[in-house]
Amino acid sequence: MQSPFRRGSYAGAIALPSPGLPNSRSARRLPPLTPCRENVNGDVVHGASIFAPAGAPADAIQTLSLFVLAITGIIFVIVGGLMVYCLVRYRRRSDDDGREPPQVYGSNPVELAWTVVPIIIVFVLTTTAIRSTYEIQAAPPPPDSLQVRVVGHQWWWEFQYPALGVITANELHIPVSDPAHPTPTYLTLESADVAHSFWVPRLAGKTDVIPNRRNIMWLAPAQSGTYVGQCAEFCGTQHAKMLLRVVVHPADDFARWVQAQRQPAARNPGAEAGRQVFEATACVSCHAVRGTGASGTFGPDLTHLMSRETIGAGAAQNDLANLRDWVEDPNRLKPGVLMPAMQLTQPQLDQVVSYLASLR
Ligand code: CUA
């Protein structure tokens, strides 16, 4: 009998708009990375350009970068221009007599100029860089700011909201921050294994995620939508598929998201068989489903799995066909992934996928 989860029958049930490529297997699986498209929720998906900052830290970094680029650009043009001029104007000619040109020594004004001008330039560049660094690094969190603990794993992101009782993975949800009344989100970054780096180019600079160390960063996006990012420190075979998304909500939307995430896992009588298979296999030693016996912490919390757009940390769209592929053999979508294939029979596979699909 044809399984309801086989590719084809449900393909497109949660499909995203075509990324403009042929609707091949691989094309359909790619998470949207192109700028400003709409995702399933109708949110705008923003690209990953460092030239389009969308929040306070990224704005400050861009302003500083353009300032440094302008000053160094002017120096480059002056020095390069003079050099080219001299090379052309004073090149060797056929009627050269081979004598040295007149030499200039001990000009106080010239020596003063080439000492003082570089000192001023270095001073200006240093102080503006220190000021921007200080503004970004030392900004104290407002008392009611949202705090999120980010844990980097090979190869996925864990997001814990200790004050809200929410744990999720790979897709960080935060409220929008109105520049007039900023409500920044503060991230504490830790690693469970090797060094990673948290980078969402449009929202902030990179911050390394290092074992046995806590780094801090903050985000204050001024515009809602989904921002894509990527682990930016080589962390093993699937470093390239350690993608991340930041979903920025208007305040009331964010409150609704938190409310939904706080609920224990939905209990669906139609998915009981799958729950039993799931709980009887080693799935539960790595994954947690709140409100059930599953309490593993090695892999992502699956309590509200279907609220996420992607699986495998952005390796594939979260639709039923991909989910089935993933559970059957995660290596197909993400070679080297630490989740093993559980060797389920085809009926068990359908039951487990049906259970996972009920975790909304
Ligand atoms: Cu984690 Cu690269």
Q: How far is CA 76 from CA 36, 68, 127, in A?
A: 35, 12, 21
Specify whether 238 is located in the same domain as 280. Answer: no
What is the 192 CA–ligand 1 centroid distance (Å)?
A: 12
312: CATH:
2.60.40.420
The rounded distance, in Å, linking the Cα atoms of 81 and 88 is: 11
pLDDT score at 143: 82
Is 2 a member of any domain?
A: no
Closest CA to 34 of 15, 19, 50: 19
Query: Are 196 and 330 found together in one domain?
Result: no
Residues having CB within 6 Å of any atom of ligand 1 = 152, 155, 196, 231, 233-235, 239, 242
State which ligand 1 atom lies nearest to the alpha carbon of 242: 1
Radius of gyration of the chain from its Cα atoms, rounded to whole angstroms: 27
Encode the chain (360 residues) as per-residue pLDDT tens digits.
444 444 433 333 333 333 333 334 444 444 444 445 555 555 677 778 888 899 889 999 999 999 999 999 999 999 999 999 999 998 888 888 888 888 888 889 999 999 999 999 999 999 999 999 998 988 888 887 899 999 999 999 999 999 999 999 999 999 999 888 889 999 999 999 999 999 999 999 999 999 999 999 999 999 999 999 999 999 999 999 999 999 999 999 999 999 999 998 888 888 889 999 999 998 999 999 988 888 888 999 999 999 999 999 999 999 999 999 999 999 999 999 999 998 899 999 999 999 999 988
Q: How many angstroms from the chain centroid is the CA of residue 53?
A: 14
Whether 182 and 327 map to the same domain: the answer is no
Does 280 share its domain with 239?
Answer: no
Would 9 be classed as within a structural domain?
A: no
Instruction: Examine the domain organization and report whether 145 and 215 are in the same domain.
Output: yes
For ligand 1, atom 1: residue with the closest CA: 196
**SS3 of residue 168 by DSSP:** strand
Under a CB-based contact definition with an 8 Å cutoff, are residues 205 and 189 in contact? Answer: no
Whether residue 202 is found in the same domain as residue 285: no
Kindly state whether residues 277 and 344 are assigned to the same domain. yes
The two tokens of residue 143 are: 């008392």
How far apart (Å, rounded) are the C-alpha atoms in residues 304 and 288?
10
Among 209, 243, 277, residue at a domain's last position: 243
Q: Which atom of ligand 1 is nearest to the CA of 209?
A: 1
Cα–ligand 1 centroid distance for 117 (angstroms): 43
Q: What pLDDT is stored for residue 27 in this prediction?
A: 40
Phi, psi dihedral angles at 218 (to 5 degrees): -140, 155
Q: Is residue 98 part of a domain?
A: no
Cα(142) to centroid(ligand 1), Å: 30
Do both 204 and 318 map to the same domain?
A: no
pTM of the entire structure?
A: 0.81
Q: Is residue 294 part of a domain?
A: yes
Q: What's the pLDDT score for residue 138?
A: 82
Say if residue 174 is in the same domain as residue 296.
Answer: no
CA-231 nearest atom, ligand 1:
2
How far apart, in whole angstroms, are the C-alpha atoms of residue 174 and residue 313? 18
Atom of ligand 1 nearest to the CA of 239: 2
Determine the residue type at 84: V
Same domain, 145 and 212: yes
Q: Are residues 183 and 280 in the same domain?
A: no
Backbone angles phi, psi at 163, to 5 degrees: -75, -20
Round to whole Å and give the CA distance between 190 and 78: 46
- 163 is a domain residue: yes
Characterize the bridge pairing of strands 196-199 and 225-231: antiparallel
* 276 found inside a domain: yes
Q: Is residue 32 part of a domain?
A: no
- Strands 225-231, 44-46: pairing kind: parallel
Nearest to 353 by CA among 311, 325, 315, 324: 324
pLDDT at residue 265, as a whole number: 85
Question: Ligand 1: distance of its center to the CA of 169 in Å?
Answer: 15
Q: Which atom of ligand 1 is nearest to the CA of 234?
A: 2
C-alpha to C-alpha distance for 49 and 35, rounded to whole angstroms: 8
What's the token pair of residue 19? 């990324």
Which parts of 138-212 fold into alpha helices (H)?
none
**Token pair belonging to 327:** 């559970």
C-alpha of residue 121 to centroid of ligand 1, in Å: 37
79 CB-near residues (< 8 Å, 6+ apart): none
What's the CA-to-centroid distance between 101 and ligand 1, angstroms? 59
Which ligand 1 atom is at minimum distance from the Cα of 194?
A: 1
Does residue 324 sit within a domain?
Answer: yes
Contact present, 135 and 59 (Cβ < 8 Å): no
**What is the span of the domain harbouring residue 164?**
41-51+140-221+230-243
Three-state secondary-structure class, residue 60: helix
DSSP 3-state of 248: strand
Instruction: Quickly list DSSP for 93-129.
Output: -TT---PPPPP----HHHHHHHHHHHHHHHHHHHHHH
How much distance in Å is there from the Cα of 317 to the middle of ligand 1?
20
Give the C-alpha separation, 4 to 216, whole Å: 45
Domain count, the chain: 2
Which residues lie across from 249 on neighbouring strands?
175
On whether both 313 and 353 belong to a single domain, the answer is yes
| The domain boundary residue, chosen from 243, 278, 302 | 243
